[in-house]
Chains A and B, each alone.
Chain A
Amino acid sequence: MGAGHSLRPFFLSEHIVIRQMAGLWFHILFAQRLVISTDLRAAAQRISLLDLATLMFRHIMGTALSVIVVEADRGRALQIVESLREAGDFDIQVISEVTSLARQIKAREPDIVLIDIANPSRDMLEEMALASGPLERPVAMFVDRSDAGLSSAAIEAGVSAYVVDGLRPERVKPVLDAAIARFRMFQRMRTELEETKRALEERKVIDRAKGMIMKARGVTEDEAYAALRKAAMDQGKRLADVAESLVTAAGLLS
Chain B
Amino acid sequence: MKAATLSVGFIPLVDAAPLIVAHEMGFAAEEGIGLDLRRAPSWSALRDLLSFGHIEAAHMLSPVPVAAALGLGGGGTALCAISMLSMNGNVIGVSRALGEKLRTSGHDFAFDDARAAGLALIAQSDGLLRIGVPFPFSMHAELVFYWLTALGLPAPQNVDIRTVPPPLMVDAVEAGEIDAFCVGEPWGSKVVETGMGDLLLPGNAIWASSPEKVLAVRSDWAENEPILRDRLIRAVWKAGRWLADPASRLLTTELLSRPAYLDLSAEIVDRALSGHMIISCGGDMRDVPNFVEFHQGAATFPWRSQAEWIGHQLAARTGLDRAASARLARGVFRSDLHRAALAQTHADLPGASSKIEGALDIDSPVASAHGKLVLRRDAFFDGRIFEPDA
Contact = CB atoms under 8 A, between A and B. Distances in A.
Interface of A: 98-100, 102, 117-127, 129-130, 140-141, 143-145, 148, 151-152, 155-156, 160, 162
Contacts of B163: 102, 123-124, 126-127
B365 interface: no
Given A102-B163, A122-B44, A123-B42, A140 B74 contact: yes
A121 B165 contact: yes
B154 interface: no
B371 interface: no
Contacts of A162: 74
B45 A160 contact: yes
B74 A143 contact: yes
Contacts of B53: 152
Contact of A127 (B41, B52, B136): B136
B313 to A, nearest CB: 13
B72 A130 contact: yes
Interface residues of B, number: 32
Contacts of A145: 76
27 contacts: A98-B168, A99-B171, A99-B177, A102-B162, A102-B163, A117-B41, A118-B45, A119-B42, A120-B165, A121-B165, A122-B42, A122-B44, A123-B44, A123-B163, A124-B162, A124-B163, A126-B73, A129-B72, A129-B73, A130-B318, A143-B76, A145-B76, A152-B52, A152-B53, A152-B54, A155-B49, A160-B44
Contacts of B44: 122-123, 125-126, 160
B65 interface: no
A151 B49 CA distance: 11
B318 A120 contact: no
A117 B76 CA distance: 18
B43 interface: yes
Contacts of B227: none
B52 A155 contact: yes
Contacts of B171: 99
Contacts of A130: 72-73, 136, 318
B52 A148 contact: yes
B176 to A, nearest CB: 11
Contact of A144 (B42, B43, B75, B165): B75
B52 A123 contact: no
A204 B75 CA distance: 46
Contacts of A160: 44-45, 48
